[in-house]
Structure 1
């Protein structure tokens, strides 16, 4: 039994670590409504939770000591805390996931409640040994009934929240699409006026940051009345657990008399720590509604049953208006069943409204608590504001910068009568600026050196290999990353070049490929593009990490290849032989890795042959140093041409169709903008304004443009 106790402790620790990770994530990102990123409701977490609450599930093991029974009460409090923490994670689920997870949670909670009630009635849970006589502690039974009531209340809150979530997400999604079209129009206007400058990109990212932050489904439920009520319930549960610990602390550690022995004390202490830490997030969410402007009149109307918002009951009304298919029933039977269904749903609608109103009334408690504290601390300022204002407002500021007015157009909210407070919008705006400024300190230094050394994009013209025939039976267009990897491989194969110079090139290309890959994956998304990108990634790992090309050690390819011409010829011939072998054995069709190898070998053949044709009969006079300088120029110019697409990539990454991933996507766009500011500024000075912006995405279009520039 002690080992089972350790098993329970480990499960509890796992839950505590996940809750702590969510806390740290919230503090780090200044999201004090603490979204559920790590501790979410799913099959895995429910399994671990079921293990963590095994003590109150145990129907047979007697708990004769005070500490034993305190541990059982502690597990019930720990369950209340975990349920309060998990509530916002419902907003991240699809309809099917929501139904299945709520049913699974309901089964677990109801089983727990039934088991506790059985133990109360059989005397197992309140069994106490005193001088060999059995005494029943009715006061402890009352405590268990209290926790049973709290658990059932939290389960009802879960069910009510689930009914509102799907409709709420639909409302936010429709408002997001409207705001998205506004942002797109402004972005298109910017592009028509010219290039996307840093300031325009910052504005674009800020707009989507506001949309993603205010339209976050988890923020929606975290600021709801039901979440505030769950936070109050969690705080109440924690208070009782603290009193429980204080009452029994004098009996630690000698009072444990159950079969769990010493492990019971470990469980009690571990879960008590979890209760204390786990209360922070639910309690903080009680004040999430303070992000909105609220007057005294609004608060009074807020708690009226007639003012319950439609999204709380819309799903029930939809079910009520829908018909149940009766393939074999008589008309009278259909009428009876339909009437019973409507009656049941009418009761559910009334119950839902009642629960929502009660939760709203509970939510007013922490709001008024904060108001009292603010009034006490800033009494003079508030008294002055009360005499000058027509209504009492929780947040008041007469100045509103024009920038905040612009950002307010992109705010998403469920209720039109609720506006975000100015400090909330300013906080969201400052957070994206902080992120961009932080990312500015992470500029790719080696890549900047490489780009600064080139003067334009002319290297792309020399790379153009469309006149060199493909060796593959299926022709592939070039992506950006594979030519860069191939050219870098050729540069690394030159044995006379100093190691520090090659390492500097390798570092610059390595940093550059991070952004080149983003351009490829964002703008070139056909199946052929994906296949080439995979080949480039596979080859680059071999080149960068192992200094090899398709199994051949760099720079020592062959003893006979000493001059620049011999090295190029050897690379060309080796690439041709590999492709011929692959095509002959037809392995490229059935083996993905062999297909990547064929594509890489074909790229080497075309690139080496192109360089040999550029120099033609003068290739024998070109030294390795001169060839390396030429390759360096080509690499830098191709990188420059590719990275002119960064503004378009940043703008595109701001938007994603999945609501749950929008904040993460905008975060990545802001991070990318900060890291590449200098690169964008450098390249905008050289950019070809006469080139079609849609053509700038493709390396082949660049090659064609550089050969025949058009006005």
Structure 2
């Protein structure tokens, strides 16, 4: 009954009417009651609309923030074509966009005043800006992802367009009586239809771009493989110098920069057309906001004051969302602009083959059918050819239309070039000299060499030299910035030893394993195990222990690169995962396999007792795991077995007189062994950097070479210092494996 308490005033009013106004007919009383009931119900149901409006504004904000993050990322990395890193087309972004489009989707709630109508119409240019920003992200997807996301986007846009058209027919958007519409109503009607047309055009452009991307990535990848083979011939993988590695990374950076699927999408005609559409809708929205500004305090929709929050948020998003498409529009021209190229663009609207090649391939392919009737197969095949032929024609028309639209920024660029040429002419006329750089034959040869690694869809168009210079500056910027992040603690640890013999001292073959199954060894597990013992030694100064922990933590970061690149087989991955989990326990929680590590001040007084405790505990754990077949036994068994072998090796190497060795001496010995293992592992860094430059997935090419440049910048000094050490006489393909190093030092060849 408490939920219906709001009806009490209505009942009281009805009783007063019946007692005081008995002359009023019952039908009229019933009509008054029904009207008041509907008004009260409408008021009650509209109360949550304010919070729904806030929800729409928050969803819009979640769309704006990743667009802003992409802008900042582009400025920071000097990529003014603004690749999509944070704001990409996926299920999550489409869900948030659908929430942000609630106002134009709303079929029933009237938006009678100027602010209400501006908010409803303003969602559509915001949607145009988001679609223009999302276009390059299509190039990051494989075929299945691309198909799923394009279909999802098409469903969202078509639903939005249909809902707006329904509201135009029902006059929810444009109010008026028949053909006597007011001027404001007529403009609203016209503006809504313009936005609908732009949304449909952008959807068509997205579909057209998706078809182009499918074929273009195949072309780029085939050219990338040629560049990869050329780059490998120029690099000596056997101990290459830092300078050669720098040149090698630069070659792949050029291939990744020019052959990036997103870069290719940005340079396309469809991207320029989407930028023009985005700018035109935003300009119209700015004009609407200018005329709406005096009426910002007046609203009448059920969303109440939240409609102003939505309007301001989405207007801000439209303005910010225009920056990247507009910059891409002019950047794509600057990448390849020349008077000859501009003239060809104006004179002939040539539709490149990669725009229609995928449709042509589908047209020539056969349809998998399980039909016995030959006549049915012929009909279906002919129908497929007819439909795809129409699609090829439509695709060609769309590309030509995009080229026509792209003439707008082209003419602007022509104007800028003419102004620059006039400025140079005036400077010449008035005798103002300026330097003209004349390139030497060596510089020209260098330019020719690096141009071999430029990947483009069209061979007859040369990339602008300033664009290539900008790409090389960006890789130098990444490397130089990484140089400021040198692992100083690791470098200090590596300086404690100048040889590699410790790789053979950490684990003796005469110590039998505790487990029946024989596991392979990796670089990270013995480092973590030795560090665990070292930090538990009594009476070692805290700053020395903290220094060792920080050094090992930095070292394991690069050890992980080596293991993931060169020891990627499943049997190694299991051991590496165990070492990673063990290090988290040791470094952060100061426990070992769930056991609190021995406290030197209370439980143990000598190094022997600590090492013996680790040996006994490891043996008991392995025995318990194998007898009870415990869950997670692999991680425990691998880690405990490593501890047992290393602890026993330490005891055997000192012939049980370990207590005669001072704690500081043992700590130094363990630190030296850790240093030598890390140094041996990091001798593989040049090979790792060279291999990280290359990837077989074109969508990850940019990320892979960026990682290689980052690692190169951070480890330049380490690579230089390790090249001064004499390597053991191992085959190059044996250097990535610690067991090969250990066998060499335990059983050196004569």
Shift of 1:325: 4.7
Spell out, residue by residue over 1:563-609, the C-alpha distance to the aligned partner (whole angstroms, 9 max, x if none).
3333322222222121111122122xxx22x3212211111111111
Query: What is the aligned counterpart of 1:78 among 126, 129, 143?
Result: 126
TM alignment of 1:4-403, pairs within 5 A: 4-127=52-175, 137-187=185-235, 190-191=236-237, 194-254=238-298, 256-302=299-345, 307-325=350-368, 327-328=370-371, 330-381=373-424, 401-403=444-446
Is the partner of 1:269 in helix, strand or coil?
A: helix
**How many angstroms apart in 1 are the aligned matches of 2:273 and 2:411?**
14
CA contact (8 A) 2:349 2:403 kept: no
Partner of 2:32: none
Could you tell me which runs of 5 or more consecutive residues in structure 1 were left unpaired when the two chains were aligned.
Answer: 386-394
| In structure 2, C-alpha distance between the alignment counterparts of 1:330 and 1:633, rounded to whole Å | 79
After TM superposition, the structure 1 = structure 2 runs for residues 649-664 of structure 1, keeping only pairs within 5 Å, are 649-664=688-703
Shift of 1:276: 0.3
Task: Report what 2:683 is aligned to.
Answer: 644
Give the Å deviation of 1:313.
0.6
For 2:620 and 2:162, the matched residues in 1 are separated by 74
TM-score by length of 1: 0.92
Instruction: Quote the offset at 1:74 in angstroms.
Output: 0.5
Write out per-residue CA displacement over residues 599-621 of structure 1, whole angstroms, 9 at most, x where no aligned residue: 11111111111122222154342
The alignment partner of 1:676 has SS state of helix
* Residue 495 of structure 2 corresponds to residue 468 of structure 1: no
**Cα RMSD (Å) of the superposition?**
2.4
Deviation of 1:332 (Å): 4.7
Moved more, 278-287 or 59-68: 59-68
Contact 2:558–2:682 (8 Å) recurs in 1: yes
Instruction: Return the TM-score normalized by structure 2.
Output: 0.88
Q: Does 1:527 align with 2:570?
A: yes
Describe the shift of the 1:332–1:303 C-alpha distance in structure 2 as closer, same or farther (beyond 3 A): farther
Q: Paired residue for 1:564?
A: 607
Shift of 1:310: 0.7
Report the CA distance shift for 1:571/1:354 in structure 2 as closer, same or farther (over 3 A): same
Q: Deviations over 1:100-130 (max 9, x none)?
A: 222222222122222222222222211269x
1:149-180 Cα deviation digits (max 9, x unpaired): 11111111111111111001110111111111
Are the equivalent residues in 2 in contact too, given 1:291–1:420 (CA < 8 A)? no
Q: Is the 8 A contact 1:561 1:570 kept in 2?
A: no
| Post-superposition offset of 1:496 | 2.0
Deviation at 1:490, TM superposition (A): 1.4
- Distance of 2:371 and 2:640 partners within structure 1: 67
Cα gap change, 1:13 to 1:382, in 2 (>3 Å): farther
Distance 1:518 1:322, change over 3 A: closer
Q: Is the 8 A contact 2:342 2:410 kept in 1?
A: no
Report the counterpart of residue 392 of structure 1 in structure 2.
none
Q: Is the 8 A contact 2:349 2:400 kept in 1?
A: no
CA apart distance, 1:378: 5.0
- Number of the residue aligned with 2:523: 480
Q: Does 1:626 align with 2:678?
A: no
Larger CA Rg, structure 1 vs 2: 2
In 2, Cα distance between the equivalents of 1:377 and 1:294? 14
Going from structure 1 to structure 2, the CA distance change for 1:309 and 1:497 (only over 3 Å counts) comes to: same
Equivalent-residue separation in structure 2 for 1:617 and 1:72 (angstroms): 83
**Cα offset for 1:14?**
0.9
CA contact (8 A) 2:81 2:332 kept: no
289-298 or 235-244, which deviates more:
289-298
C-alpha displacement at 1:337, in angstroms? 4.2
In the alignment, the residues of structure 1 paired with residue 348 and residue 148 of structure 2 have an alpha-carbon distance, to the nearest angstrom, of 30
User: What SS does the aligned partner of 1:417 have?
Assistant: coil
Secondary structure at 2:234's aligned position in 1? helix
Q: Which moved further from structure 2: 402-411 or 488-497?
A: 402-411
Tell whether the 8 Å contact from 2:538 to 2:606 is kept in structure 1 after alignment.
no
SS of residue paired to 2:149 = helix
Give me the whole-angstrom Cα distance separating, in 1, the residues matched to 2:611 and 2:452. Answer: 59
| In 2: Cα distance, 1:396 partner to 1:23 partner | 34
**Alpha carbons of 1:70 and 1:495: their partners in 2 closer, same or farther (altered >3 Å)?**
same
- Which residue number in structure 1 is paired with residue 475 of structure 2? 432
How has the CA–CA distance of structure 1 residues 708 and 77 changed in structure 2, closer, same or farther, with 3 Å as cutoff?
Answer: same
Say whether the 8 Å CA contact 2:61–2:313 is kept in structure 1. yes
Counterpart check, 1:410 vs 2:449? no
- Structure 1 contact 456–686 (Cα < 8 Å) conserved: yes
Contact in 1 for aligned 2:565/2:688 (Cα 8 Å): yes
Contact 2:538–2:601 (Cα < 8 Å) also in 1: no
1:696 aligned onto 2:735: yes
Gaps of at least 5 residues in structure 2 are 1-48, 429-435
Check conservation: 2:692, 2:704, Cα contact below 8 A: yes
Q: CA deviation at 1:135?
A: 9.1
1:572 and 1:356 map into 2 onto residues whose CA distance is 72
- CA deviations over 1:235-288 (Å, ceiling 9, x no partner): 00011000000111111112x122221111111111100000000011111123
Aligned length: 690
Who is 1:613 aligned against?
A: 652
Q: Is the 8 A contact 1:404 1:426 kept in 2?
A: no
Give the secondary-structure state (helix, strand or coil) at the position aligned to 1:178.
helix
| CA distance in structure 1 between the aligned counterparts of 2:451 and 2:682, rounded to whole angstroms | 32
* Residues 337 and 693 of structure 1: CA distance in aligned 2, closer, same or farther (over 3 Å): closer
Q: Distance in 2 between matches of 1:526 and 1:557?
A: 39
Match of 1:681 among 704, 720, 731: 720
Deviation at 1:706, TM superposition (A): 2.6
Q: Secondary structure at the match of 1:506?
A: helix
Does residue 449 (structure 1) correspond to residue 492 (structure 2)? The answer is yes
- Counterpart in 2 of 1:391? none
Report if aligned partners of 1:563, 1:623 keep a CA contact under 8 Å in 2: no
Q: Deviations over 1:430-467 (max 9, x none)?
A: 11111111111111111111111212112223224222
Q: Which whole-Å CA distance do the structure 2 matches of 1:48 and 1:267 have between them? A: 14
CA distance, structure 1, for counterparts of residue 444 and residue 683 of structure 2? 33
